[in-house]
Amino acid sequence: MTQHIRVLVVDDHPMVAEGIQSILESYDDFEVVGTLGDGQAVLNQLDALQPDVILMDLNMPKMGGLTTTEMVLEQRPDTRILILSMHDSAEYVSSALSHGAMGYVLKDVPTEEIRTAIMCVMQGKKYLCTGANGALSPKPGRMAETLTNREQTILLQLAQGQSNKEVAFALDISVRTVETHRKNIKRKLGISSTAGLTRYAMEHGVLQGTGASF
């Protein structure tokens, strides 16, 4: 008989955890060994539950997902941790990987992709969904070719931390126009987050020593 993959679901929203549990239990090769709401509970029950894979949320009470990931791997190094989050920024993705997570999946991915991600990390491979991978891999060297002068100006101001409203006021345009430009910039550069825009601006000299931080 095929051995089931033991999965622990960790999310502080019970409806989310139960929904993921229901999805996973529809597959014959998974056994959901529990659903927990915070990192401390994970550490308390880790030895008893012995999960192969933990689907881990990032923002939780008592102990967040990053700290929990580190401590789980200290206690049981062979555990595969797959972050399941709503955040698609480069900081979240890179931090999760640097803390030892094997993969990162956004909560809005299709059901089958969660299964694919689990199977992938169980094989010892890293897995990033499209949105997470896009946050880490902005398309290089395209700004001068594809962004208009206005878009470059807006990119600079956004990278300096200005809000849509502040950019609109500075350029004497509507907030809706700024939002449209912002979407176009992200689309052209293949970047999905504001943090990614800031990193792109720094790496390509757009900020020109303005001191903006990432």
The mean per-residue pLDDT over the stretch 149-156 comes to 86
What are the beta bridge partners of residue 104? 83, 128
The predicted pLDDT at position 95 comes to 82
The predicted pLDDT at position 153 comes to 87
The predicted pLDDT at position 7 comes to 97
d(CA 143, CA 132): 21
Question: Could you report the per-residue pLDDT of 48-59, keeping only the tens digit for each?
Answer: 999 999 999 998
Question: Could you report the per-residue pLDDT of 57-101, keeping only the tens digit for each?
Answer: 998 888 889 899 999 999 999 999 999 998 887 778 888 888 899
pTM of the model: 0.64
The predicted pLDDT at position 139 comes to 46
The yes-or-no answer to whether 5-136 and 143-203 have a common fold is no
The predicted pLDDT at position 165 comes to 92
Tell me which architecture the domain covering 143-203 has in CATH: Orthogonal Bundle (1.10)
- Kindly report the average pLDDT of the chain as a whole number: 84
Per-domain residue ranges for the chain? 5-136, 143-203
The predicted pLDDT at position 11 comes to 94
Q: Is the pLDDT of residue 207 over 60?
A: no
Classify domain 5-136 at the CATH class level.
alpha beta
Residue scoring higher pLDDT (134 or 177): 177
Q: Is the pLDDT of residue 203 over 80?
A: no
